Amino acid sequence: MLRLSRFLPSTSTSRGVTGLKDALWSGSLTFKHALSTSAANVDENASAKKFASYTVFKGKAALSISPILPLFTKLESGGSRVNRNGSVMLTFFPAVGQRKYDYTKKQLFALSPTEVGSLISLGPAESCEFFHDPSMKSSHEGQVKKSLSITPLGSDNGYFVNITVLNNVQKTNERLSVPVTKAEFAVMRTALSFALPHIMGWDQALSTHPQSAPTSASKPRFERPNPDSEWDR
């Protein structure tokens, strides 16, 4: 039987980002300032942008996941297409005391659509690992290597989510590990499954807008070929 307790504050209690105020009571203002500054950096013009995440706070580190939208490019036709897929950003914070986390030492890992697919199809006893090189295809390729691994806790009890950042220049090797319960992983799986079509832009490709609602009412159907057909070559 799974028991989640709110009575006794413990290192394994999970809470949303709204719990940051309590969790980080000693550094709340600093953290908040950092967050809003970070948000301001994203796009100076996107004043209506909204941010949401899901965060689990554990003994040695916290893990926050949040979705990032794809970018569209205008086409000559006036329409637009996805120019860069969105992603789901994983952010790890090391613990620096009981329920205190150091935001300045965060480690980031952006999941691509296929990596999201790997995570949401993970069986209870399966594991997966992804490798990223921030400087891939530049002269700095290989200087920093990141890996994210997800391994089962055993007995269908959830997973360990581990990030390793190896910096060959600074000769550092940082590793953060967060145990995620079955319930927390169910939240992540549901949130990632929801986010996946959105970070690929499919929700926008499948939404209709008043000015562009496809309708064949005004033109008889037999007078126009179907350009979407597989037979139009």
CB-based burial of residue 49 (10 Å sphere; 0-12 exposed, 13-18 middle, 19+ buried)?
exposed
**Min dist. Cβ of residue 154 to a copy of itself (A):** 15
Dihedral, CA atoms, 215, 217, 221, 226, nearest 10 degrees? Answer: -10
> At closest approach, how far in Å is the CB of 185 from a copy of itself?
8
Shortest separation between residue 222's beta carbon and a copy of itself, angstroms? 11
**Least distance CB 101 / a copy of itself (angstroms):** 17
Closest approach of Cβ 175 to a copy of itself, in Å? 16
Q: Given the complex with a copy of itself, which of 96 and 186 has the nearer CB atom?
A: 186
> Closer CB to a copy of itself, residue 142 or residue 154?
142
Alpha carbon of 171 to those of 64, 136, 166, 200: distances in Å?
Answer: 27, 19, 8, 36
Closest CB to a copy of itself among residues 62, 116: 116
For 143, which DSSP code?
S
Closest to a copy of itself by CB, 96 vs 126, is: 126
* DSSP summary character for residue 207: -
Closest CA to 193 of 118, 127, 82: 118
Give alpha helix (H) positions in 68-206.
Answer: 113-120, 182-199, 202-205
- β-pair partners for 151: 160
Angle at 24 between CA 19 and CA 30, to 5 degrees: 115
Residue from 201, 204, 159 nearest 183 by CA: 159
Nearer to a copy of itself, 3 or 171 (CB): 3
How many CB atoms within 10 Å of residue 197?
A: 14
Of 100 and 132, which CB lies nearer to a copy of itself in the complex structure? 132
At closest approach, how far in Å is the CB of 37 from a copy of itself?
A: 8
